[in-house]
Structure 1
Amino acid sequence: MAAVHVYLNFNGNCEEAFTFYKEAFGGEFSYIGKFGDMPPNENHPIAEADKNKVMHVSFPIGETVLMGSDTGGEWASNLVVGNNFAVSINANSTAEADHLFTKLAAGGKVTMPMEKTFWGAYFGMFTDKFGINWMVNFDE
């Protein structure tokens, strides 16, 4: 069965927020990467001002993983407090990922179809018909 986690989006202060959460809960980040660490992509160039912002951070808290990133580029204008989170599903197979993505995205808006990513996962994002943001991920 898939695991469900919370994914938070920030407007440039993700690392500050997650450092605050880490101090409150204790523990360590299992991963933190910056936009500047990403391989170059001519279709989506990274502005110099965004290279030190957080592309992804994972912070285990008990059985849950709190995840987050800074929002930049074309998505930054859509970020408002209240929609700055997503439910993140970690599926157990590509078939389960596809099934959940298809079912939950029905009637909603796909922002990134399911596809292989540079970090090696099978991943997609959408907003469901009720306005809730979702991410579906499968790590092979």
Structure 2
Amino acid sequence: MTDSVDKDLYQRTMALIEPGDIDLVGTVVHTDLTGEEDLEMQELTVSINECLASHIGKGETYIYAGNDSSEFASNQFQGLTIDDESFVWECQQLLRKGTFDLVFYYEAGPTQAAIADDLESIEHIKNVTTVP
């Protein structure tokens, strides 16, 4: 990470995954999508959800946008299981230097390197930084 933005996002992600009830890890996903590419961002979030869900192995998931909750910020989403609405992942979509960076965190367990490899094969993803 040579870029200060990468360092900033890495540190913010580390703060999000500090020890709590669940042992969390994360990824910072750098994209080539601009602020005008809302539909592509939605499609990318769905693709990332599918990738993370397959690695995490909690079954079928859906994406919760939190539009009906004051506890959610704009551009904050969760992946929840269809069966019992349990937590799979959470993300924040951040516009940085004209393109989106996505910060995801999820329960520790899956191999971070395998997740990063699979995510980097998805269209519009430039690179992925894992956080521990």
Class of the TM-score when normalised by the shorter of the 2 chains: 0.3 to 0.5
TM-score, structure 2 normalization: 0.32
TM-score, structure 1 normalization: 0.31
Larger % of helix: which?
2
Q: Which has the higher contact order (CA 8 A, sep 6+)?
A: 2
